[in-house]
């Protein structure tokens, strides 16, 4: 590229180096990785993840990811562990220790203590001849050729590799345990993400009015019902209560454009006989998709042709789904 600034060059070099390291990381996956996943999958306690410095920060992120995907985990700072917090580790826990060098003084003190407790130790390490690599029960190899730091000192490429390895572990455990969307929803009930995963049409339409008219009712009665219920729509029902069609504000406007003789018009004359409907058991986010695809602002809710109500775009806006 012409006249590329030194800033852009440095940023591009950093990203390309880290991308190359991640690409190489996949080639380091072997039987040891599979043994780690199997060990973690059958753990009856928690996954305790420890580290020092930048590796400790990565450990906290991995703990958060594991907890949110159904694997109970806690963070244990390596320095705090050897000053009293080691009591957090229970007999049925599996411990993951993260370190680039595998030679940190805190790690050298911590690892033998955990081994003496009888816990399995997994080392996520970037030096395969290090103390951690040689003493751990299993190894997650996060070796990188060099840091993106121009002095090859600041943890950059190495922490990216640790982060990616943690994600790989979490995803493999999800698949091993059959962790589904429903399970994810249970652990993420708050915010827009949670609502997209658990909020159903029935949760919203039940709070709305249920505008409805009979097929033989007059235009005036239709307008009065739509005005009272203030949803811009009304269902048209048979005498048995089955859904026959729907009338919207748009249907009324189009009817008035076509005729001046409105005295004899009945609901059945202007209703749409095959309206867009959605089942009450559907996810609310699916209702939003239907509205967007058809450029409409409300949907009739019906189960087996039984009218249940109306869900409006405003309901979805209010819940933060848009």
Nearest residue to 229 via CA among 242, 246, 243: 246
77 is known to lie in a ligand binding site: yes
Nearest residue to 247 via CA among 229, 269, 264: 269
What is the helix (H) or strand (E) element at residue 88, kind and residue range?
A: none
- 8 A C-beta contact, residue 249 and residue 271: no
C-alpha torsion sign, points 217, 223, 224, 225: positive
Q: Name the β-bridge partners of 158.
A: none
- DSSP letters, 157-181, are HHHHHHHHHHHHHHHHHHHHHT--H
Q: Tokens at residue 75, please?
A: 């963070």
CA dihedral of 193, 194, 197, 201, whole degrees rounded to 10: -110
Going by their DSSP bridges, the two strands 73-77 and 47-51 should be labelled as parallel
Q: Is 143 exposed, middle or buried (0-12, 13-18, 19+ CB in 10 A)?
A: middle
**Strand locations in the chain (E):** 47-51, 73-77, 94-99, 120-125, 138-141, 212-214, 233-237, 243-248, 277-278, 298-303, 306-312
Binding residues: 77
Binding residues for Zn(2+): 77
């Amino acid at each position: 590229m012409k006249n590329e600034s030194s800033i852009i060059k440095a940023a591009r070099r950093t990203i390309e180096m880290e991308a190359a390291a991640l690409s190489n990381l996949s080639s380091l996956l072997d039987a040891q990785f599979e043994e780690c996943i199997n060990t973690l999958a059958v753990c009856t306690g928690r996954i305790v993840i420890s580290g020092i410095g930048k590796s400790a920060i990565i450990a906290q992120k991995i703990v958060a990811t594991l907890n949110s995907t159904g694997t109970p985990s806690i963070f244990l700072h390596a320095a705090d562990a050897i000053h009293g917090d080691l009591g957090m580790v229970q007999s049925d826990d599996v411990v993951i220790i993260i370190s680039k060098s595998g030679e940190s003084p805190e790690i050298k003190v911590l690892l033998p203590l955990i081994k003496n407790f009888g816990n399995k130790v997994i080392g996520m390490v970037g030096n395969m001849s290090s103390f951690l690599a040689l003493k751990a029960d299993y190894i997650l190899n996060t070796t990188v050729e060099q840091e993106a730091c121009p002095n090859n000192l600041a943890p950059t490429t190495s922490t990216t590799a640790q982060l990616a390895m943690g994600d790989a572990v979490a995803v493999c455990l999800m698949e091993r345990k059959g962790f589904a969307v429903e399970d994810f929803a249970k652990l993420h009930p708050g915010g827009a993400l949670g609502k997209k995963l658990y909020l159903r049409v029935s949760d919203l339409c039940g709070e709305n009015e249920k505008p409805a008219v009979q097929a033989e009712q007059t235009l005036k009665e239709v307008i009065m019902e739509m005005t009272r219920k203030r949803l811009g729509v009304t269902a048209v029902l048979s005498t048995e209560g089955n859904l026959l069609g729907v009338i919207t504000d748009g249907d009324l406007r189009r009817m008035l454009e076509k005729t001046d003789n409105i005295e004899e018009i009945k609901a059945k004359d202007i209703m749409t006989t095959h309206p867009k409907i959605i089942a009450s058991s559907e996810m609310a986010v699916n209702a939003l998709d239907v509205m967007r695809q058809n450029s409409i602002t409300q949907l009739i809710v019906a189960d087996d042709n039984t009218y249940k109500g109306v869900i409006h775009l405003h309901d979805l806006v209010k819940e933060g789904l848009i």
